[in-house]
Amino acid sequence: MIEQIPPSALPDWLAAVTGDQLPLLLDVREPAEWQAASVQPAGAELLQMSMHTIPARLGELDPDRPVAVLCHHGVRSQHVAAFLAHHGFERVANVVGGIDAWSVQADPTVPRY
C-alpha cells in the first residue's frame, strides 16, 4: 500500500524516516512545470525526473531509500509511487494533491498554475 501524505504532513513523514540516507522528494512533473513552480523541503533531497523517464532511469534510484513522489495534483505521482513499489522500493509515499496542494497547505509562496 502506498502511503498518502498531504503536503502539510510531509515534514513529519520526513522527520520520521530513520537510517543514514536522506529521503528523496521525486518530482515527476515536466520541465516546464518545474520552471513554473518548485519546492525544496527541509530534510529531503529534491530530484526532478519526468514521469515518462522513470522506467528507463529506474537504476538511478535506490530502492532502499525512502521516496515521496510529487506531481501537479497527485495523479502522476500515485502512478509512479505504485510503479516504484512494484519494483521493490520499500518506503514510498504519494504527496496527495501535489504541488497545487503544497501551495495551499504548506507554502503559499509556491505559485499555482
Within a domain: 112: no
Q: What is the pTM of this model?
A: 0.96
Count the domains in the chain.
Answer: 1
Residue 110 falls inside a structural domain:
no
pLDDT for 20: 83
> Residue 44: inside a domain, yes or no?
yes
Whether 113 is covered by a domain: the verdict is no
DSSP alpha helix (H) spans, the chain: 10-16, 31-36, 54-57, 75-86, 98-105
> Would you say 80 and 55 are in contact if contact means Cβ atoms under 8 Å apart?
no
Q: Which domain holds residue 76?
A: 3-105
Alpha-carbon distance of 44 to 7, in angstroms, equals 13
Q: Is 71 a catalytic site residue?
A: yes
Maximum distance among all alpha carbons in the chain? 36
Question: By CB neighbour count within 10 A (0-12 exposed, 13-18 middle, 19+ buried), where does 39 fall?
Answer: buried
CATH number of the domain at 82, please. 3.40.250.10
pLDDT greater than 90 at residue 13: yes
Out of 28, 67, 70, 71, which one is annotated catalytic? Answer: 71
Question: What one-letter code names the amino acid at 73?
Answer: H
Which pLDDT belongs to residue 59? 97
The pLDDT tens digits of the residues spanning 17-74 come to: 887 889 999 999 999 999 999 998 889 999 999 999 999 999 999 999 999 999 999 9
| Structural contact between residues 94 and 86, judged by C-beta atoms closer than 8 angstroms | no
Q: 34: which residues sit within 8 A by CB, 6+ positions away?
A: 27, 48
Residue 80 lies in a domain: yes
Do the domain assignments include residue 50? yes
- Return the closest-CA partner of residue 59 out of 46, 45, 49: 49
